[in-house]
Structure 1
Amino acid sequence: MTDASRPDPAPPEQAPLIRGKPSAPEITRQIGSIVLQGRLPRRFWWGFAFFAALALMFLYSIAYLVSVGVGAYGINIPVAWGTMIANVVWWIGIGHAGTLISAVLLLMRQPWRDSINRFAEAMTLFAVAMAGLFPILHLGRPWFFYWLMPLPVTHMPWPQWRSPLVWDFAAIATYGILSIVFWYLGLIPDLAVLRDRAQSRFKQIGYGILALGWRGSARHWTHHQAAYFALAALATPLVVSVHSVVSLDFTIAITPGYHSTIFPPYFVAGALYSGFAMVLTIAIPLRHFFDLGDVITQRNFDLGAKVMIASGLIVACSYANEAFFAWYSGEDSERMMMAARFSGPYAPFYWATLAFNLGALPLLMWRAVRARPQVLWFVVIVVNIGMWLERYMIVTSSLSRGFLPAAWGEQSLRWLDFTLLFGSLGMFFALIFLFIRILPALSIFELAERVEERK
Structure 2
Amino acid sequence: MSLDKQPLIPPDLTHADISRRISDLVLNQPSPRAWKLALVISGLLTLMLLAGLGAVFSAGVGLFGINIPVAWGMPIVNTIWWIGIAHAGTLISAVLLLTRQPWRASINRLAEAMAMVAIICAGIYPFLHLGRPWLAYYLLPYPDSMDLWPQWRSPLVWDFFAIAGYLVFTFCFLYLSLLPDFATLRDRARTRAVQLIYAVLALGWRSSAIHWARYERANRIMAALAAPIVFSVTGILSLDLAVSIVPGFHFTIFPPYFVAGALFSGFATVAMLAVSMRSLFGLQDLITRTHLDYLGRMMLVFALVVDYAYLQEMFTAWYSADEFYRAVYLDRWSGPYAPVWWGMILCNVMAAQLLWFSSVRRLPWALFSLGVIGNLGMWLERFQIVYTSTHADFMPSAWDSIWPTTWDWAIYAGTLGLFTLVLLIFVRIAPLVSMHDMRKQIHRRRQHER
Q: TM-score range by the shorter chain?
A: over 0.9
TM-score (norm 1): 0.95
2:364 is the counterpart of 1:373? yes
Hey, what's the Cα distance between the residues in 2 that align with 1:18 and 1:412? Answer: 49
Q: Pairwise CA RMSD of aligned residues?
A: 1.4
User: 1:154 Cα deviation (Å)?
Assistant: 5.4
Hey, what's the Cα distance between the residues in 2 that align with 1:16 and 1:379? Answer: 24
Hey, what's the Cα distance between the residues in 2 that align with 1:445 and 1:293? Answer: 19
In the other structure, the counterpart of 2:171 is 180
**Secondary structure at 1:18 match in 2:** coil
Amino acid at match of 2:65: G
In the other structure, the counterpart of 2:269 is 278
Amino acid at match of 2:291: N
In the other structure, the counterpart of 1:86 is 77
In the other structure, the counterpart of 2:325 is 334
User: 1:443 Cα deviation (Å)?
Assistant: 0.4
* % identical aligned pairs: 47
Query: In the TM superposition, what are the counterparts of 1:33-72 in structure 2 within 5 Å?
Result: 33-72=24-63
- 1:399-424 alpha-carbon deviations (Å, 9 max, x no partner): 11211222211212210110011110
Hey, what's the Cα distance between the residues in 1 that align with 2:25 and 2:147? Answer: 50
Q: Please list every run of at least 4 consecutive aligned residues from structure 1 whose deviation after the TM superposition is greater than 3 angstroms.
A: none
In the other structure, the counterpart of 2:420 is 429
**Secondary structure at 1:237 match in 2:** helix
Q: Does the 8 Å CA contact 1:135/1:165 hold for their aligned counterparts?
A: no
**Secondary structure at 1:348 match in 2:** helix
* Distance change >3 Å, CA 454–CA 316, structure 1 → 2: same
2:416 is the counterpart of 1:444? no
In the other structure, the counterpart of 2:118 is 127
Query: In the TM superposition, what are the counterparts of 1:241-320 in structure 2 within 5 Å?
Result: 241-320=232-311
In the other structure, the counterpart of 1:5 is none
Q: Does the 8 Å CA contact 1:24/1:448 hold for their aligned counterparts?
A: yes
- 1:291-320 alpha-carbon deviations (Å, 9 max, x no partner): 111111111111111111111001001111
In the other structure, the counterpart of 2:181 is 190
TM-score (norm 2): 0.96
- 1:382-436 alpha-carbon deviations (Å, 9 max, x no partner): 1111110110110011011211222211212210110011110000000000001
Q: Note the residue ranges of structure 2 that are not aligned, 5 or more in a row.
A: none
In the other structure, the counterpart of 1:393 is 384
Select which of 206, 222, 236 maps to 2:213.
Answer: 222
Query: In the TM superposition, what are the counterparts of 1:89-128 in structure 2 within 5 Å?
Result: 89-128=80-119
Amino acid at match of 1:253: S
User: 1:156 Cα deviation (Å)?
Assistant: 5.9
Select which of 129, 154, 157 maps to 1:163.
Answer: 154
**Secondary structure at 1:226 match in 2:** helix
Hey, what's the Cα distance between the residues in 1 that align with 2:303 and 2:145? Answer: 48
In the other structure, the counterpart of 2:65 is 74
* Distance change >3 Å, CA 333–CA 450, structure 1 → 2: same
Bigger mean CA deviation after superposition, 420-429 or 357-366 = 357-366
Hey, what's the Cα distance between the residues in 1 that align with 2:438 and 2:375? Answer: 29
In the other structure, the counterpart of 1:140 is 131
Hey, what's the Cα distance between the residues in 2 that align with 1:77 and 1:227? Answer: 49
Q: Note the residue ranges of structure 1 that are not aligned, 5 or more in a row.
A: 1-13
Amino acid at match of 1:190: D
**Secondary structure at 2:389 match in 1:** helix
Q: Does the 8 Å CA contact 2:52/2:410 hold for their aligned counterparts?
A: yes
Amino acid at match of 1:322: E
